[in-house]
């Protein structure tokens, strides 16, 4: 791979800030809005998630850094919406993908790569007897719901209301603010429960247990670990009421451990769904689970079969080859341990900078070290999108790109130090906004907004 020199961020230098230009990115973003609804193919990548006049359009990445069309380098966090754990351009993955593609990428029959990937995956996931690969997490979670409904003959889906996203399909999106185009009868088939609130699960199943096919939740999130006894309790309640337990491991899989959160916490779901880190940015997801459930969509059943993950591109060779290369990399190094160690260093640096600036109550890095987020608060110490906009703006001006501080194994000590310098300089501006009680003198344009919202028109800064 050709090496391109990456300049130091010099984040505390005003000259480094003024040298940064975004004209080409702004023009490319304008053109994207003309051709692509929302200007991006994923809501979380949209320009409304970034300061209005600083929306970098990228051309390449290397390790934990990315380059935009204006020639600006950034330290990137949350890489590939948390799918890239080994770093951009990771050679072993690229070589495996290129080799697989050279042998033909899509066939009329299964390949030995499918067998190898299935054997490898099931060797790492406790309690899973079978797996089926796909291309995105939504397909996997919807397939899990379908299997649960087929197995139980029940219509209702219990969804953890504290977890932000499970699928692009109607059974989940109907529970969000973006309900246009989804019939009410679909929305009514999804019922909520609360995370770390076993009484809410018990109440739901006491009331509707004979109609609930499954409960789906993330075993843990960046901000919330399972309370003692919660996962054990939800497992027991599902067993008591004949409800299928589904763990969404799209984020936690290969970031909490190679075997996911279920391996870390020692609780085995009936089905689990996987994505994100499986392919280090290449498209691959998976549905895994108990044989008696998975075989309902196979050929070893006498019952009426659900249509289960039959897609043209699900088993294409490059995604499977990427997954196998990622698994080998995890076997060669403790990738999860590396991310956690580096995440702890980053959190310590960011939080020390906030304390030194007298802003510890306003800005903080928190969460699982391998999946850090940052929290921004206003002068009243309330979580604030306008102040988030200001923080993002000042980091971007100093060469740090990310809606979070979700780290990868590719981040270096230099990346962490330069991020800390950028945070220190950003907090100087943040402090002035806190003193002023408003971000308006410091930010042009609208505030960033939640990705899943009903209306598109911009929110002005307040």
Domain residue ranges of the chain, discontinuous segments joined by + = 14-86+334-436, 106-315
Same fold, 14-86+334-436 and 106-315: no
Print burial letters for 153-166: b (CB count within 10 Å at least 16), e (below 16).
Answer: ebebbbbbbbeebb
Domain 106-315, CATH among 3.40.640.10, 3.90.550.10, 3.90.1300.10, 3.40.47.10: 3.40.640.10
pLDDT for res 19: 74
CATH architecture of 14-86+334-436: Alpha-Beta Complex (3.90)
- pLDDT of 18: 58
Angle between the N-to-C axes of helices 112-124 and 317-332, in degrees from 0 to 180, rounded to the nearest 10: 40
- 349-379 pLDDT, tens digit per residue, is 999 999 999 999 999 999 999 999 999 999 9
| C-alpha pair distances (Å), 145 with each of 123, 264, 273, 297 | 24, 24, 10, 12
Q: What is the pLDDT of residues 194-247, one digit of tens each?
A: 999 999 999 999 999 999 999 999 999 999 999 999 999 999 999 999 999 999
pTM of the full structure: 0.94
Q: What is the pLDDT of residue 456?
A: 85
User: Given the DSSP bridges, would you call strands 400-401 and 73-76 parallel, antiparallel or unpaired?
Assistant: parallel
> 363 is written with which tokens?
């800005």
Q: Considering Cα of 205, then 207, then 213, then 219, what sign does the dihedral take?
A: negative
pLDDT tens, position by position, for the chain (462 residues)? Answer: 333 344 344 434 455 565 789 999 999 999 999 999 999 999 999 999 999 999 999 999 999 999 999 999 999 999 999 999 999 999 999 999 999 999 999 999 999 999 999 999 999 998 899 999 999 999 999 999 999 999 999 999 999 999 999 999 999 999 999 999 999 999 999 999 999 999 999 999 999 999 999 999 999 999 999 999 999 999 999 999 999 999 999 999 999 999 999 999 999 999 999 999 999 999 999 999 999 999 999 999 999 999 999 999 999 999 999 999 999 999 999 999 999 999 999 999 999 999 999 999 999 999 999 999 999 999 999 999 999 999 999 999 999 999 999 999 999 999 999 999 999 999 999 999 999 999 999 998 899 988 888 888 654 444
Instruction: State both tokens at 55.
Output: 């929306």
Torsion of CA 184, 190, 196, 199, to 10 degrees: 100
């Amino acid at each position: 791979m050709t090496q391109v020199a990456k300049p130091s961020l010099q984040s505390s230098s005003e000259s480094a800030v003024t040298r940064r230009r975004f004209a080409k990115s702004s023009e490319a973003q304008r053109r994207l809005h003309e051709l692509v609804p929302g200007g991006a193919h994923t809501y979380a990548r949209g320009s409304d998630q970034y300061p209005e006049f600083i929306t970098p359009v990228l051309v390449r990445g290397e390790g934990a850094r990315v380059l935009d069309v204006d020639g600006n380098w950034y330290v990137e966090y949350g890489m590939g919406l948390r799918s890239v754990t080994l770093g951009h351009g990771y050679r072993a993955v690229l070589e495996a993908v290129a080799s697989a593609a050279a042998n033909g990428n899509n066939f009329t029959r299964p390949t030995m790569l499918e067998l190898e990937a299935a054997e490898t995956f099931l060797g790492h996931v406790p309690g899973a007897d079978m797996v089926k690969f796909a291309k995105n997490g939504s397909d996997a979670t919807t397939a899990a719901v379908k299997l649960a409904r087929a197995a139980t003959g029940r219509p209702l889906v219990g969804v953890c209301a504290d977890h932000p996203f499970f699928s692009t399909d109607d059974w989940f999106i109907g529970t969000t603010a973006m309900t246009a185009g989804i019939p009410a009868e679909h929305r009514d088939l999804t019922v909520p429960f609360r995370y770390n609130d076993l009484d809410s699960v018990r109440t739901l199943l006491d009331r509707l247990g004979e109609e609930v096919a499954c409960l789906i939740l993330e075993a843990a999130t960046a901000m919330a670990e399972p309370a003692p006894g919660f996962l054990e309790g939800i497992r027991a309640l599902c067993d008591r009421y004949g409800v299928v337990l589904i763990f969404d491991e799209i984020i936690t899989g290969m970031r909490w451990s190679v075997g996911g959160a279920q391996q870390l916490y020692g609780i085995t779901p009936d089905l689990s769904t996987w994505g994100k880190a499986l392919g280090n940015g290449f498209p691959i997801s998976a549905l895994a689970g108990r044989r008696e459930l998975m075989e309902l969509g196979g050929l070893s059943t006498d019952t009426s079969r659900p249509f289960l993950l039959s897609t043209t591109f699900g088993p294409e060779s490059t995604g499977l080859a990427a997954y196998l290369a990622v698994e080998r990399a995890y076997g060669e190094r403790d990738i999860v341990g590396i991310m956690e160690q580096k995440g702890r260093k980053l959190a310590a640096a960011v939080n020390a900078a906030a304390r030194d600036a007298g802003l510890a109550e306003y800005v903080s890095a928190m969460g699982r070290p391998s999946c850090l987020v940052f929290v921004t608060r206003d002068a009243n110490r309330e979580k604030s999108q306008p102040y988030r906009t200001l923080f993002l703006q000042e980091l971007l001006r100093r060469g740090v790109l990310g809606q979070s501080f979700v780290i990868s194994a590719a981040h270096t000590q230099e990346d962490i130090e330069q991020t800390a310098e950028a945070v220190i300089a950003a907090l100087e501006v943040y402090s002035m906004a806190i003193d002023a009680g408003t971000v308006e003198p410091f930010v042009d344009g609208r505030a960033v907004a939640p990705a899943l919202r009903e209306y598109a028109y911009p929110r002005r800064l307040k």
